[in-house]
Structure 1
Amino acid sequence: MSLRHDGEELLGDVTAHVPDRPWARGIPLLHPWANRLGGFAYMFDGTPVELDPADLYLEEHGLPLHGLRRAVTGWALTEHTDTRAAAAHRVEGFAGFPFDHEIAQTAELDARRLTITTTIRAGERPVPIAFGHHPFFQLPGVPRAEWALTLPVAERIVVDANLIPTGERTPAGALDGPLGDRTFDDGYTYGGTGAFVLEGGGRRIEVAFEDGYAYAQVFAPAIADIVCFEPMTAPADALRHGPDSVPSGGTFSARFSVTIDAVSER
């Protein structure tokens, strides 16, 4: 996926550091769950589920990360114009996620804004909701230390040594300002108003959580000049701790947008 402004690419790529990961560039969907799980088993709707490591992406602590490999393939393009694209995937017979459903996604583009909507349509059983997206942003030609962040978050989700939530939350504190030498791989509750902002070199990227995303993961590693404002429907490890769900036959949609401006235009 590409997102260009004034001829420059604003989406980052870290596949050189994490090969064989389709979610390491662009704006990937993380499904059927986003972020880390604290183990290889979970229970939902009275069904115990064992995860097969062969169908997983594993993170640095050896734990499952960002969904199932099978979820990436099998999508069908249902609409494609110059300003709108839509695709859908029927998730059926997944041993690691035995809650059949259809997932659909639309991407709509105007002169300044990209809007992405993701919709789950449940089958005969409830479907847990724990998906998210992982946009990778960059500011070409601007030193990382000069990138300025605005993070409209409320609480920081406290994690253990394996980056799994402990159940504790603390005030997020003052996070806005230059990125400098800071790094992030932190989960937060969304504050409910305002956009996440990356600004520098006369350009401003805003990510607005418009509907359905109550959590955010902020990722800014030392190994690459990228910042990710990740819209999340649930915190890390939620799949193992009673996540929200779509009832049988029901529908759930979540939407976020990316707006790009030259600062002089604002």
Structure 2
Amino acid sequence: MKPQETLPTMADDAPGQVAAVRTHTMAAGDLVCVFRPEQGMICTSLKHRGEEILRLVDDMEEAVASGRSVGVPFLYPWSNRLRGTHYEFNGRVVELDPDSPWLLKDWNGILCHGVPWPRLEWSVLEATDRLLRARLPWSRPELLQVFPFEHEVVMSALLDGLGLTIETVIVATGRDRVPVSFGFHPNVGLPGLQRSQWRLSLPPMQGIVLDALLLPVGERTDLPAYDDRLAGLAFDHGFAFVTDKPSMSITGNGRCVSLDFLTGYPFAQIYAQPGMDHIALEPMTAPADALVTGEHLPVVEPGERFSATFRLRVEATDPSLH
């Protein structure tokens, strides 16, 4: 496959017309990945020795229309849920319209995951067979209505023999202080093995106590490390790390898929439901609802920058894996 190709998709502003969406393919060692760099800067495929590791990527047309989390989407300007329909930062109150097509909601009608990823229009800065860099200027009126802080985002995706490393940099380009509350939602699975047989490994963490709407109540509980079968466990929980550069992983059928939290991600969310063939191990720069509570909310001062990096690592644990 060529490093760059175009795929047809429906034009956002012209229903019934077809627009070209550029994809970019990178390859290294046993891994091949595909991005849509200008449409969400989303990774839509990560294959290890020819088998797909990412999940929910079979119907990209529907995913683009709905904005739902597939592959490895960027959750911006906040990840997870917000309590209510407004937040206040630096003396500015931001009112949000829950019915806006520029905002996502969960099944309870709670604002969740910020702006739909297909509406984030990136410009490619560099594209090679191992590296993809793109820039998102936060300048559209619709974006500023949701998050009225002048800045830009630069994302770099590097593929090597270990996995896919994604660095995200927030640059405060104007006079605004910029709150940081983004994350990613990597949906992964193990080919050829039922979910109940996957082995889940988690580091010691603090569990963030949630209410009935899955929003934090301000309490935490200490949790030991976990290393056992996923079995019938269900997750939609937030966690705070207590160690440096932690990792989470699933292992089985000759493979290990890990999420390495390298820098800038002291929090995580895990989403996994029985009956689904995927798990989401989600790096987060701040806990859920941080824009509302202000708790553990990083801030970029004017002229400064914030950087966060994670790695999606895929390894063969069985030498005979073809």
Establish whether TM, by shorter chain, passes 0.5.
Answer: yes
Contact 2:207–2:220 (8 Å) recurs in 1: yes
What runs of 5+ residues in structure 2 fail to find an aligned partner? 1-43
The residue aligned with 1:27 is 72
Identity fraction in percent: 41
Pick aligned residue for 1:212 from 264, 270, 277: 264
1:259 deviates by: 1.4
Structure 2 distance, partners of 1:239, 1:230, is 18
Q: Does 1:120 align with 2:167?
A: no
Identify the residue that residue 168 of structure 1 maps to in structure 2.
219
Equivalent in the alignment of 2:15: none
Structure 1 residues 240-260: Cα deviation after superposition (integer angstroms, max 9, x where no partner): 012221111110000001111
Determine if contact 2:210/2:217 at 8 Å carries over to the other structure: yes
Cα drift, residue 33 of structure 1: 0.3
* Alignment match, 1:7: 50
Structure 1 residue matching 2:318: 3-state secondary structure:
helix
User: 4+ runs of 1 displaced by more than 6 Å?
Assistant: none
Counterpart contact for 2:179–2:291, Cα < 8 Å: yes
Across the two proteins, how many residue pairs are aligned to each other?
Answer: 264
Matching of residue 260 in structure 1 with residue 282 in structure 2: no
CA distance in 2, matches of 1:74, 1:206: 29
User: What TM-score results when the alignment is normalised by the length of structure 1?
Assistant: 0.94
1:74, 1:141 → 2: CA distance?
Answer: 35
2:112 partner SS: strand
Aligned to 2:104: 57
2:84 to 39, 42, 50: 39
Of the candidates 298, 301, 307, which is equivalent to residue 247 of structure 1?
301
Which secondary structure does the structure 2 equivalent of 1:13 belong to? coil
CA pair 185-105 structure 1, distance change in 2 beyond 3 A: same
Which residue in the other structure is 1:106 paired with? 156
The question of whether the paired residues in 2 share the 8 Å contact of 1:87 and 1:104 is answered with yes
| 1:71 CA displacement | 7.9
Q: CA deviation at 1:153?
A: 4.0
What is the DSSP-based 3-state SS (H/G/I as helix, E as strand, rest coil) of the residue aligned with 1:95?
helix
Q: Alignment partner of 1:176: what SS?
A: strand
Q: Which has the higher contact order (CA 8 A, sep 6+)?
A: 1
Q: Distance in 2 between matches of 1:149 and 1:191?
A: 18
Whole-angstrom CA distance in 2 between matches of 1:60 and 1:152: 29
Instruction: Answer whether contact 1:32 1:71 (CA < 8 A) is retained.
Output: no
Q: CA deviation at 1:70?
A: 7.9
Q: After the TM superposition, which residues 120-139 of structure 1 pair with which residues of structure 2 at under 5 Å, given as runs?
A: 120-122=170-172, 123-139=174-190
